[in-house]
Structure 1
Amino acid sequence: MLSKKTKYAFHALTYLGKHKDQGAVPIQEISTHHNISHKFLENILLELKKAGLLGSKKGKGGGYYLIKLPNEIPLSKVIRLLDGPIALLPCVSLNYYEPCEECASQEKCGLNMVMAEVRDETLKILEMKTLQDILERE
């Protein structure tokens, strides 16, 4: 399940994508439109900026804007950035792997094998889908 933080990030990115020709969009505008706490949204946008997805402008007419095209922002990147692993178990995670304490043999663990398949299918979708896909559906 996506965290509120990630869900709000997608709302903000979608809003910025819809207003990309407008230039920098003030945080307050996004916050009001999506009913998100200004401070919480500010932290999310800063993380997205540090990850190279957003730019910002200070002062009058300031705010945030996309620095990548919507079709260059895979959903998997945003989810990993804000929520961490996409895999349902740490023992099948590609980027956040941890062995299971209770598992005697990962190679013989049926749960591991099934969850690895789930991870692979989920990643196929999330890496192919981008912010553009969200924008096209709204």
Structure 2
Amino acid sequence: MREINLVHLMSMLIRDYEKVCGRARFEIKKIDGTFTLIDIHQKLLDLVNLQRNNLIGKKISDLPIKRDWTEKLLSIFEKAWKGKETIYYLFPPTNDNIFLVVQLEAVVKNGVIDRIEGCCVPLESKELKGRFMESIISHDDEI
């Protein structure tokens, strides 16, 4: 049987979702060695029930996320910053009704990584809670 790259498959599904339902994206930049949220689409803000002015310019450690996820996210963002296409998923604490699948991709400018762009797809969580544990799918995972 032929191997399937799960990250590539999920990336294609996310792109198809965006064509039909619109974008729910955010951008992270490494400023003085710290990952900082620099932009977020209104659609994503609406999905997670948060306000733009409470997020833009915030360090990852200052975002309204579960504390045990802070270290995980920093590790995930570091992989993306090094150029690895990465996918993870989580139940956002500010909206129990959704489950977010997030793809991270490094954006290169003048040959250097400038920022990370995150693309999000929301799924209804009622069917998923209890069936999946929060997890990280790295670039190297294949099925």
TM-score scaled to structure 1, two decimals?
Answer: 0.30
Q: Per residue, is there more helix in 1 or in 2?
A: 1
Larger radius of gyration: 1
Q: Per residue, is there more strand in 1 or in 2?
A: 2
TM-score scaled to structure 2, two decimals?
Answer: 0.29
